[in-house]
Structures are given as C-alpha cells and as structure tokens.
Amino acid sequence: MWRVEVLVAELVISDTPIAGVFMVSRERRRDTRGHLERLFDAPALSGLLADRAIVQVNRTYTEQAGTVRGLHLQLPPNAETKVVACLRGSVFDVAVDLRPGSSTFGEWLGCELTSDNGLALWIPEGCAHGVQTLEPDSELLYLHTAAYAPDSEAALNPLSADVGIDWPRGISRLSERDASAPASLDAFLEVEW
C-alpha cells in the first residue's frame, strides 16, 4: 500500500527598519523523510517583485570564517533586487541604503542567516549588499532581478566610516577590489534610483 505525504511550505515577509528591505522567513514542513522549505515563490512575492522577475541565480562558497564579501550593487539601468539565503554554515548579512532620497540613506541592517534558521534577506535596488562568514565552508544562494552587468557594477568599502558597520568578527579575508572601493557615501549622492 502506498502512503502519500504532502508538504506545503510557506514564506513569511517581515518589514525591517530600512524601507524596501525585508526579512523572508521560510517555514519548514517536516515529515518522516526530512523537510521541505520553499526558497522562492513568485506568486507569494508578486507584491514585492512588481514587474520584475528573477533572471539570475548565483551561489557562493566561502572557505574561511571572518571573510567579508561586499558591499556590492548594480547602478541603473541595470539595478537589481537580490534575495539572499544561506544554504550551509552561517553568515552576517548586511544591506546598506544608498538611495539619496531615502529617509534611511547611509543606514545599514545586519542579520544572521544560517542553514538552520530559514531566513533570507530581500535587498532592493539602491541598497548595497555585503556578507561576513561566521563559520567556515558557508554557502549562499542569490536570486537576482537583473543579470550581472560589469558596466553597472558599484561598491562601497565594507569598512566605510560613513556607514560604520559593526562586523561581528575580525575580518580575516577581504578582496583587494572591496578594500579599494570608495568609502564615502558621497559617491552615491547623484544616483537616481
């Protein structure tokens, strides 16, 4: 006799102090085989996606704890929204508001994403993204609403005194590109989002 087990997993969207940045909580449904969690659901996220679609999916793997990647974003006309989830390990995930007209311009939000907590961070156009690994061998999944466009690439130095991110660990590894990125918010004052 066949036994049918059906799992339905939900996404829960929560506001954060930065307009347009959201926490996405993935509800896990468990049964005798393990669990199911929905990583993406276009109908459930249609209010946030508006007329955009996910067009690129990337995965990063970082060996060493304490490594910082970012703060990265793409400028118009290739600005992108990102949804970031942790598949293995744990990270401190950061969004920085670089939209000059925003009431939270220059402010940052950090949260812990782990393979176990079922959280993802929704980072809208105009916000830079960075991450610090909290344990070795951490993997992230990125969903993007725009394909990578080198001519639109921009970055803010993750050690910018203008922003003052309180990274939870000492930085063990930082790329030369990220270390040499502009540290001043002035670089983003003329960008029209």
Pairing state between β 67-74 and 173-174? parallel
Per the CB < 8 A criterion, the answer to whether 142 and 58 are in contact is yes
Q: Is 142 a catalytic residue?
A: yes
Q: Active site residue: 72, 129, 144, 148, which one?
A: 72
Using the Cα atoms of residue 76, residue 106, residue 163 and residue 112 in order, give the sign of their dihedral.
negative
85 bridge partner residues: 120, 141
Query: What is the C-alpha to C-alpha distance for residues 166 and 170, in angstroms, rounded to an integer?
Result: 10
Q: Which residue in the list 35, 61, 129, 142 is annotated as catalytic? A: 142
Burial class from Cβ neighbours inside 10 Å (0-12, 13-18, 19+) for residue 13 reads middle
Sign of the CA dihedral running 87, 112, 144, 22? positive
Query: From the CA atom positions of the chain, what is the Rg in Å?
Result: 17
Active site includes 61? Answer: no
In this structure, the strands spanning 22-26 and 127-133 are unpaired
How far is 26 from 142, CA to CA, in rounded Å? 15
Q: Which residues participate in catalysis according to the annotation? A: 72, 142
